[in-house]
Chains A and B, each alone.
Chain A
Amino acid sequence: MTPSEEIEARLRETAEQLLRDKKVDIFLAHGKASLPFRTTPLFITSPEDAERLVWNPFCAMNLAVYLPRLFVRPANAKEAENLEQPTIGMVVKGCEARSVAVLIQEHQIPRDKLVLVGVACGGMADRRKAAAALDGRDPLSVAEDADGNLRVTVAGDQEVALPREDVLAVACTECRRPTPELVDVLIGDGVEGKAADLTRSRTEQFGSQDLDARWAALREALGDCIRCNACRQACPMCYCRECLLDQTTPRWIGAGTDPSDVVIYHLVRAFHLAGRCTECGACTRACPMGIDTRLLIRKLNQDVEDLYGYTPGESTDATGPLSAFAMSDPEDFLTEI
């Protein structure tokens, strides 16, 4: 059995048991999709369906994005008293567990109604990197070998070997905490994260350019944006019922691809995610144009870490630094008036 197959077997057992014992009403996991290099989320409600659950290097989606809609939001305190919430079980990777933690911390979902089954994650494959490595040949099927590397079958029954590191999603190449914390069950041996320096180096490289170069780089990176909002919709942290950038009273930005509107959309999103983003890369993965929407958010997250010593998702009790004020908060970046 490959490592993934072992984890898959244990996950299926765990999910089946939880459903059979009625410890959860729904188990949220990944299932087989119709194309290779992808999975599709499963909302399993009966123990017999647990066998549809899969675990492989393509379980990249951040399932936490579905949590707010699976719980009922009470309209007021009175309603909240008698509310019957479902209990949701779900499989979580490192980044996902942190997303769940932030949602709990921000009072969007109840911890006591969650059963979190963590899996130590070896990193997820990025289908676009794989496509590039395959020279544009469409993958017909893909399998994992015992070392976690990929064997892809392309047209003409040819097989191509793809080392996992070559096709890891960018977010995974920088992941410092692939082993989920704050979970109820942990499957798989702990996986070591990447060094903090590595994670820093990309944003530092970006930040080391002069202002004009950074501005040009940002505008170029966002040049292909078609304002579809996929980055926002895929993000578990973007759960606002009405996004500021969709508001009409007042209308902050236009709906088209005017460069100033595009930049403001991404800048505002980045600022609203500073100190909240768990760097799962769902945004970049969802973007149909292949834009690295995570770049700027990563930089702001790094700034919050440096200025306030805070990393999102490590505890469900913490208050985000941008939601609170401490006397010890650094002030040297404030100008004197």
Chain B
Amino acid sequence: MTEKTIARTDLTTLLDRLAEDAAVYIPAQDEAGEAALAEAPLDGDLALDYVNFRLSPKAFFLPQNQTLLCFQDGQVREPEQPDHRKTVLFGVRPCDASAMLALDAVFLEGDKHDPYYASLRDKTVVIALACTHPGPSCFCTSVGGGPGDAAGADVLAVPLENDLLLRAQSPKGEDLLASVSDLLADAAPEAVTQADRRIADAAEQMEAVTTDGSAQWLRENYDADLWQTISQACIECGTCSYLCPTCHCFDITDEIRGGRGRRVRTWDCCAYPLFTLHASGHNPRPSSRERWRQRIMHKFRYAVENHDRLFCVGCGRCIRHCPAGMDLRNVFKHVGA
């Protein structure tokens, strides 16, 4: 596992080099002043003190709308493969990087490999950036992650005082570091120690939430009164799912005009009332109580039962953006109680 360092001031040179044959996305600010991954010009120093991006990087692998099939004059065809050019994402937080493994479990495993997701995943290289200052809604350490735990990323970058430690975590990561080896120095032991210490410090800053035993507790409490009260505030707006790095539910619809059109998949949300509505009018999840429960069950119980991992990485976006101030950590106050 290659470990190198690079001076912070040389970071843009490295990214410039990568941009020669890849689309490079870096931390930038969107129009509302919030942090976002964008294909921004590489001038000046990168600000690395954001907590996290508004949107999760899942849009790079599972876009909000994605053409599955093209229709033309009675022919049904796969879409032309879009741009095969490599994509490099720099600055993905460890929580979001580990979320990619959750999406991999859904889209790549099993006997129906999703070719659309797979091709986007293959052509993308992810350089995660470890956290040194988590935000008040971050709780990665409570869901099996950590501010330096970027399983799913190809390279982990850890900001040090003047440098960045770069650690390859996959063959793609090794290749990337090798391709810019002239810009890098071998990581000195002090650098590694500093990195570990910063990550540990960041972990200490987060308030812990008990999620141990949550799958079992959720099994036993499927019919608890809790679900009625805890879901009352939900206005079923979809913000949580759309911003969540592991939420993957989608809809498939056809759009057609004349003889031309497409079959497209779009983000969907289990909190929407129409999500499970049958053509007969029957709805197995008729109210926000059942729908909110489904959300929690999916992430903290069914995902554990099916994939042996939580489908929540503690990024806190749902808590920060919920218009009704809901906080799914409140469910866990009851676990172990």
Residue among B54, B253, B325 making CB contact with A34, cutoff 8 Å: B325
The answer, yes or no, to whether A290 is at the interface (CB within 8 Å) is yes
- Determine chain A's interface SS by DSSP, over half rule: loop
The answer, yes or no, to whether B31 is at the interface (CB within 8 Å) is yes
* Complex alpha-carbon distance, A285 and B322, angstroms: 10
The answer, yes or no, to whether A228 is at the interface (CB within 8 Å) is yes
Chain B: CB-nearest residue to A255: B266
Which of A34, A138, A288 has most chain B Cβ within 10 Å? A288
Find out whether the CB atom of A136 lies under 8 angstroms from the CB atom of B49. yes
Chain B: CB-nearest residue to A233: B237
Task: Determine the chain B residues whose CB is within 8 A of the CB of A38 once the complex forms.
Answer: 325
Chain A: CB-nearest residue to B256: A251
Residue among A40, A43, A255 making CB contact with B65, cutoff 8 Å: A255
The answer, yes or no, to whether B324 is at the interface (CB within 8 Å) is yes
Find out whether the CB atom of B325 lies under 8 angstroms from the CB atom of A40. yes
Residue among B30, B54, B64, B274 making CB contact with A227, cutoff 8 Å: B64
Find out whether the CB atom of A228 lies under 8 angstroms from the CB atom of B54. no
Which of A139, A255, A258, A290 has most chain B Cβ within 10 Å? A255
Find out whether the CB atom of A289 lies under 8 angstroms from the CB atom of B54. yes
The answer, yes or no, to whether B232 is at the interface (CB within 8 Å) is yes
The answer, yes or no, to whether A246 is at the interface (CB within 8 Å) is yes
* Complex alpha-carbon distance, A246 and B269, angstroms: 13
The answer, yes or no, to whether B248 is at the interface (CB within 8 Å) is no
Interface bits A242-267 vs B (CB < 8 Å: 1, else 0) = 10001000010011111000000000
Find out whether the CB atom of B251 lies under 8 angstroms from the CB atom of A255. yes
The answer, yes or no, to whether B105 is at the interface (CB within 8 Å) is no
Interface bits B6-43 vs A (CB < 8 Å: 1, else 0) = 00000000000000000000000011111100000000
The answer, yes or no, to whether A224 is at the interface (CB within 8 Å) is yes
* Complex alpha-carbon distance, A149 and B54, angstroms: 28
Find out whether the CB atom of B65 lies under 8 angstroms from the CB atom of A233. no
Find out whether the CB atom of A138 lies under 8 angstroms from the CB atom of B274. no
Find out whether the CB atom of B34 lies under 8 angstroms from the CB atom of A34. no
Interface bits B217-249 vs A (CB < 8 Å: 1, else 0) = 000000000000100110111110111000000
Find out whether the CB atom of B324 lies under 8 angstroms from the CB atom of A41. yes
Task: Determine the chain B residues whose CB is within 8 A of the CB of A256 once the complex forms.
Answer: 64-65, 264, 266
Find out whether the CB atom of B266 lies under 8 angstroms from the CB atom of A234. no
The answer, yes or no, to whether A128 is at the interface (CB within 8 Å) is yes
State how many residues of chain A have any CB contact under 8 Å with chain B.
43
Residue among B137, B236, B253 making CB contact with A255, cutoff 8 Å: B253
Interface bits A133-174 vs B (CB < 8 Å: 1, else 0) = 000101110000000000000010000000000000000000
Tell me, rounded to whole Å, the shortest Cβ–Cβ distance linking A223 to chain B.
Answer: 9
Task: Determine the chain B residues whose CB is within 8 A of the CB of A61 once the complex forms.
Answer: 323-325
Stretch at the interface among B74-82, B150-158, B326-334: B326-334
The answer, yes or no, to whether A216 is at the interface (CB within 8 Å) is no
Task: Determine the chain A residues whose CB is within 8 A of the CB of B329 once the complex forms.
Answer: 34
Task: Determine the chain B residues whose CB is within 8 A of the CB of A136 once the complex forms.
Answer: 33, 35, 49-50
Task: Determine the chain A residues whose CB is within 8 A of the CB of B255 once the complex forms.
Answer: 251, 254
* Complex alpha-carbon distance, A38 and B324, angstroms: 8
Known: A61-B324, A233-B235, A288-B54. A34 touches B65 (CB 8 A): no
* Complex alpha-carbon distance, A139 and B327, angstroms: 17
The answer, yes or no, to whether A282 is at the interface (CB within 8 Å) is yes
* Complex alpha-carbon distance, A24 and B235, angstroms: 23
Find out whether the CB atom of B272 lies under 8 angstroms from the CB atom of A257. no
Find out whether the CB atom of A34 lies under 8 angstroms from the CB atom of B266. no
Interface bits A23-55 vs B (CB < 8 Å: 1, else 0) = 000000000011110111101000000000000
Find out whether the CB atom of A288 lies under 8 angstroms from the CB atom of B65. no
Known: A65-B235, A228-B237, A228-B239. A35 touches B319 (CB 8 A): yes
The answer, yes or no, to whether B321 is at the interface (CB within 8 Å) is yes
Find out whether the CB atom of B274 lies under 8 angstroms from the CB atom of A40. no
18 A-B pairs within 8 Å (CB atoms) are namely A35-B136, A41-B232, A131-B34, A136-B35, A136-B50, A155-B133, A226-B267, A227-B64, A227-B266, A228-B238, A228-B269, A230-B238, A234-B323, A254-B266, A255-B253, A255-B264, A255-B268, A289-B32
